[in-house]
Each structure stands twice: as structure tokens, then as C-alpha cells.
Amino acid sequence: MGVDLRELIPDDAKIIIEDLRTLRGRVIAIDGYNALYQFLAAIRQPDGTPLMDGSGRITSHLSGLFYRTINIVEAGIKPVYVFDGKPPELKAKEIERRRVVREEAARKYEEAVQAGDLESARRYAMMSARLTDEMVRDAKALLDAMGIPWVQAPAEGEAQAAYMARKGDAYASASQDYDSLLFGSPRLVRNLTISGRRKLPRREEYVEVKPEVIELDKLLSKLGVTYENLVDIGILLGTDYNPDGFEGIGPKKALQLVKVYGSVEKIPKPLLKSPVEVDVAAIKKYFLQPQVTDNYRLEWRNPDPEAVKRILVGEHDFSAERVNAALDRYLKAFRENIRGEQKGLSKWFAKPGKQG
DNA sequence: CTGATGGA
DNA sequence: TCCATCAGG
């Protein structure tokens, strides 16, 4: 789930994106695991059944990735997907916790199906969704066919995306989680891969979800803290590396403690109660000096429509008609927005360099 | 989630 | 053109 900074982020540290085209020309490093997981959880029938091909293999993630990437390219954004590598050892406990939650949800899903409770079934199906290695391989193959670059992170994808944004290779990172801010991403785009209307859980209400950009500089100045302070605040609230956080400390108190004492280490021990030992220094190091790589090239190669059709239609039983229609849109958008072949005038304009 | 469809 | 609804795989 990552660190929950939601309540700490003032409205004036966010820019709501009314039209995706405001990000035209920008390279955005998208948290691939996060995006696929969202598609996998969301693209389901009312009873929770995901989309599947004739062999029973799940295809929700491919459907979401394909159509969303097309929309992103149509808006003129240059996406690069960043995938997780080996999770840090410190994350083992959180990974285990998620596994337990998923298995429990899978049990409740079966119960809800038996009871004919569609709404619960769908909810538990979403909660029990698990992204497999095969799904990630499928996704990478589809991106290759579409000419969209992807980067294999050595460890955390969010750390790698943040690093690429810090270097100026990307304008922003994109994820639903806030972790990339703790990894130092200068800008975080949320809701890039889930715009539209979203149903509130357990309610017959819908909210309009729009993409938003959170600027790290602005966030820090509004909160009146340094970047390292923000990492400390995250640790007090709880991160994937110390999911329980500290007893009785929410956003308000975390901010206050860090401001008063200057760092987690300087906060008097009696104020920091935790059921388990927390290695603050080790966690801090994960955020401040994460394992990342320079071994990537951001190249938007020409799409291979036949390869796209081979994957989606040939292997996964997508409708050829729908895929062809989407590909037409995509190839046009790719030529105009990525290649810059609009009206044959591209040679008059300088190629954009560093982002930001 | 996303695109297609059909009625207002 | 807008929106609600449905199906997609």
C-alpha cells in the first residue's frame, strides 16, 4: 500500500489536471506494477470475474494497459513503464501481510459467490487480485510491440521512477502510491491510469477522478519541512518497511514531532511506542539511497502492429475489430505526438531535451 | 478501466 | 453532444 501521505498534502501543493494534454511532450515514468495491479483489480464483471482468454488466462491487465497507453500517447505524453525488481529484505513482513490479506479475501470471495452476494464478491475479488510473473511478462511484451520503453528496476520501481525524474530523464513519476515522493521524485502524478468516474466503496455514489500533479518542492515549503524531514514523517506514519508505524501517531502529530525535534532520531524515546523494533536508520537509507540503475534507454521505437495483434488477438482472444480500431488511433497518435510528424513541420522545432 | 451504443 | 448502460476476454 505504501506510505499514506494523503492527509498531509495541502490542496495548494497539487495541480489538478483537467485535460491530460497539459502534460503534452512530457516523459512520465509510470509505476508499472501499480498500473497493472489497478487494471487487474478494476477490470472485472459485476461478480468479480476478470477478463480471460479462451485458455482461462487473465487478460484484464492487458486490456487496461493497451487502451490506457493509447490514451496517454494520444494526449501527447511519452510514457515509460518502470517495473519492480527484487523487493528489499526489509519489505518481507509487508509482503507476507499482503499475502494473508489476499488469501483471506479469496476465501470471502468464494463465500460471497456461494451466497449470491455480487457486490461483496466483486469487492473480495478485487482484494484477492494477484499480479503474476506471467502477467508482467505479457505486459512487457505488449509494450515492446507498441514501441513503449520499459525499465527493469533493480529493486523498488518507485525508487527507480523517482531517480529518473530527479535526473531529468522524466518530468514526473506516476503512481497511486506516495512512496516516490519519499524517494525524492520532484513531481508525482496520481490518477494517471485511472481517470473517469469511480464508485465510492459501499455506496451508490460516484466521484469524478482527475489526474493531479503533486510537486515535491511545493509540498515541502507548504509543510515547512526538508526532504529528509518528509522521509522521517513517512517513517513515523508507517511505510512498507515498517507498516505498523508508531502508536498513536497520525499525520498531524508526525509533522509536529519532526518539526519540533528535527528528526526521528532526536524524538525522545518515550514518545515513540512501537510493538516491534524499528530500524529507523536502515529504513531511512532505503529512501535516501535506494538501489537504482542507469542501465536504461528511453526510446520510443516504431510500433509493430502485427506483433500487437499477435499478442492480443492471436494469443489472448481479443476482438480483431476492436484491436484494429484502437491501433489505428494509436499509430496516428504515435506518429504525431511521439515522432512529431505533425503536418510535416517537425524539422522546424527543436527536439525536447531534459524534462522539467 | 475502456470503448461502443443508443436514447435524451 | 452528453450520458447511462453494457460488454469486453
C-alpha cell at A62: 492487458
A53 labelled as ligand-binding? no
C-alpha cell at A287: 529512501
Does A204 score more than 90 pLDDT?
no
Interatomic CA distance for residues A32 and A354, integer angstroms: 22
Mean pLDDT over the full length of chain A? 94
Task: Give the lowest-confidence range in A85-94, A109-118, A131-140, A206-215.
Answer: A206-215
Q: What are phi and psi of A190, to 5 degrees?
A: -105, 160
The average pLDDT across A156-172 equals 98
Task: Give the lowest-confidence range in A45-49, A76-80, A264-268, A352-356.
Answer: A352-356
Task: Give the lowest-confidence range in A1-5, A55-59, A319-323.
Answer: A1-5
**What pLDDT does A67 receive?**
98
**Residue A318: which nucleotide is closest by CA–C1'?**
C9
A12 labelled as ligand-binding? no
Confidence of residue A356 (pLDDT cuts 50, 70, 90): low
Give the three-class secondary structure for A206. Answer: strand
Distance A350 CA to C5 C1' (A): 46
Protein residue nearest nucleotide C8, by CA to C1': A51
What residues pair up with A196 in beta bridges, in sequence order?
Answer: A209
**What pLDDT does A353 receive?**
55
**What pLDDT does A208 receive?**
80
Q: Where in chain A are the domains? A: 1-223, 225-289
CATH number of A225-289: 1.10.150.20
DSSP state of A10: -
Interatomic CA distance for residues A158 and A179, integer angstroms: 7
A115 conformational bin, left if phi > 0, alpha if psi -120 to 50, beta if neither = alpha
The average pLDDT across A104-111 equals 97
Does A142 score more than 80 pLDDT?
yes
Cα-Cα-Cα-Cα dihedral sign, residues A274, A269, A232, A8 = positive
Which of the nucleotides in strand C have any atom less than 7 Å away from a protein CB atom?
A: 8-9
Residue with cell 497507453: A69
Does A344 score more than 70 pLDDT?
no
Confidence of residue A348 (pLDDT cuts 50, 70, 90): very low
Report yes or no: A186 and A216 within 8 Å, Cβ to Cβ.
Answer: yes
The angle subtended at Cα A20 by Cα A19 and Cα A26, nearest 5°, is 140
Distance of alpha carbon A7 from its chain centroid, rounded? 19
Interatomic CA distance for residues A315 and A297, integer angstroms: 28
Give the three-class secondary structure for A80. Answer: strand
Interatomic CA distance for residues A164 and A181, integer angstroms: 13
Distance A319 CA to C8 C1' (A): 9
**What pLDDT does A346 receive?**
46
**What pLDDT does A28 receive?**
98
Share of chain A above pLDDT 90, in %: 89
pLDDT digits (tens, 9 = 90+) for A300-310: 999 999 999 99
Distance A207 CA to C2 C1' (A): 18
- Of A322, A330, A317, A323, nearest to A146 by C-alpha is A330
Candidates 2.60.120.10, 2.30.30.760, 3.40.50.1010, 3.40.50.2300; CATH matching A1-223 = 3.40.50.1010
A4 labelled as ligand-binding? no
The average pLDDT across A101-125 equals 96
C-alpha cell at A247: 502508536
A116 conformational bin, left if phi > 0, alpha if psi -120 to 50, beta if neither = left
Does A196 score more than 80 pLDDT?
no
Does A195 score more than 80 pLDDT?
no
**What pLDDT does A177 receive?**
97
Interatomic CA distance for residues A102 and A81, integer angstroms: 25
Interatomic CA distance for residues A6 and A287, integer angstroms: 18
Angle at which helices A60-74 and A320-333 cross, to 10° = 30
Which positions 295-334 on chain A have a beta carbon less than 7 angstroms from any atom of strand C? Answer: 316-319, 322-323
Distance A145 CA to C6 C1' (A): 30
Tell me how long chain A is. 356
